[in-house]
Amino acid sequence: MARLELNSVGKAFGAVRCANDLSLIVEPGEIVAVFGPSGSGKTVLLRMIAGMFEPDEGDILVGGRSIIGAPPEHRGVGMAFQNFALFPHMSAQDNIASGLRAKAAGGEVTSRVNSISRLLKIEHVLGHMPRELSNGQKQRTALARALIGNPEVLLLDDPLRNVDAKLRYEMRLELPSLLRRSSAAVLYVTQDYREAMAIADRIAVLIEGRLVQVARPEEIYARPASVAVARLFGDPSINLAEVTPRAEQGALTAEVAGTRVRLESPDRQPADYGACWLGVRPDDLTVARTAGEGAIPARIVAITPMHERAVLLLRFADGIEWLAALPPDAAVGSAEDSVFVRFAPEAALLFDRASGLRIGLPPRRQAA
């Protein structure tokens, strides 16, 4: 099998730059999720690889061979579309087989269609027309069609977007093993960070046409490259406060809502980092009734019970609001109660306020 390689790929539509110096390598058998907010250029990236647009600059290689200028049918690329894009006038069987008819003989086509539809559990609807299929079946048919030709590169454009929650959950569990079986280099576009973390070996975070970070899921969660990345991963999203950290006697501290808290120094020797964002994930906060060193006084504004935890909306004296996600049995009080909020020094992330980039060495920490 072949690896997929993007070399400084760029693309603009008029004044809008949808892809800016994108470089990425996807090994055969690897699943890389392309994750980013809508309009960040994910779909354009897939379409450049599939050959629907050509990039303005840079090169795209499959197995070391450039596919720029090659027609879509000669790129060795399979794709599953967000809107399924099934052929409405063909049965599910013919839809799946369409990818093979050009290459294989009749008997082989039938047996391959049967085996892949058994794998995807759609063998009982093979005779149906697309309009008679449920969204889940349509999506599986589209996946089967993309997989059957054994493409070297498999592009999945948010394939679980239009299916219901239960099926999405099931497919999140099934997809990785299914995709690995094909040993294709897989690019998986999604807008859901949980989906990206569940399915992918690595995640490529795309923001405004730029790849901001490419790393393993737990690394992106624990050590986001910038404030923007930190905000995209995690629900509830990361708490932020404007701070100016101070280095004193070999320790780094910052003032949050009038309370001086200790931070882990990004460097061996703490320095003056200037204006920063301090980021702490809601899971890393502890809330207690007792005051103490580094405990920030706050008032509980609201408590939202979520299935496996309770989310507290806290307000500090200076008006900043943070969220804390706690185990549901951690009875800390009710709304309007005064509490004290703590976090471990190593849980805090520091980002430069001007550039948004994370400062210094990454603090070691377990992914949630």
Which is nearest to 318 in space by CA: 239, 255, 275, 230? 255
Query: Which residue number, 113 or 211, has a Cβ lying nearer to another protein?
Result: 113
Least separation in angstroms between CB 337 and another protein: 54
The span from the CA of 316 to the CA of 299, in Å, is: 7
CB-wise, 1 or 302, nearer to another protein?
1
CB of 303 to another protein, least distance (A): 45
Q: Does the protein bind another protein through residue 260 (CB under 8 A)?
A: no
Q: Among 41, 78, 270, 363, which residue sits at the site for another protein (rule: CB under 8 A)? A: 78
128 versus 246: smaller Cβ distance to another protein: 128
Please report how close the Cβ of residue 158 comes to another protein at its closest, in angstroms: 13
| Six-digit token string for 235 | 């629900």
Give me 221's structure tokens. Answer: 């969660």
Distance, CA of 15 to CA of 121 (rounded, Å): 45
For another protein, the binding residue among 14, 38, 64, 73 (CB under 8 A) is 73
CB of 131 to another protein, least distance (A): 13
Phi–psi pair at 253, nearest 5 degrees: -135, 160
DSSP output for 6-49: EEEEEEEETTEEEEEEEEEEE-TT-EEEEE--TTSSHHHHHHHH
Tokens describing residue 156: 């999945």
Contact between 79 and another protein by CB under 8 A: the answer reads: yes
Q: Which one-letter DSSP state was computed for residue 10?
A: E
If the CB atoms of residues 44 and 285 are measured against another protein, the closer one turns out to be 44
Paired strand residues for 277: 242, 351
Q: Which of residues 91-130 bind another protein (CB under 8 A)?
A: 98-99, 102-103
Tokens of residue 225, six digits: 């490259």
Which of 352, 344, 216, 205 is closest to 272 using CA atoms? 352
Residue 77 lies near another protein (rule: CB under 8 A): yes
- Footprint on this chain of another protein (rule: CB under 8 A): 50-52, 71-73, 75, 77-79, 81, 83, 85-89, 98-99, 102-103, 142, 145-146, 149
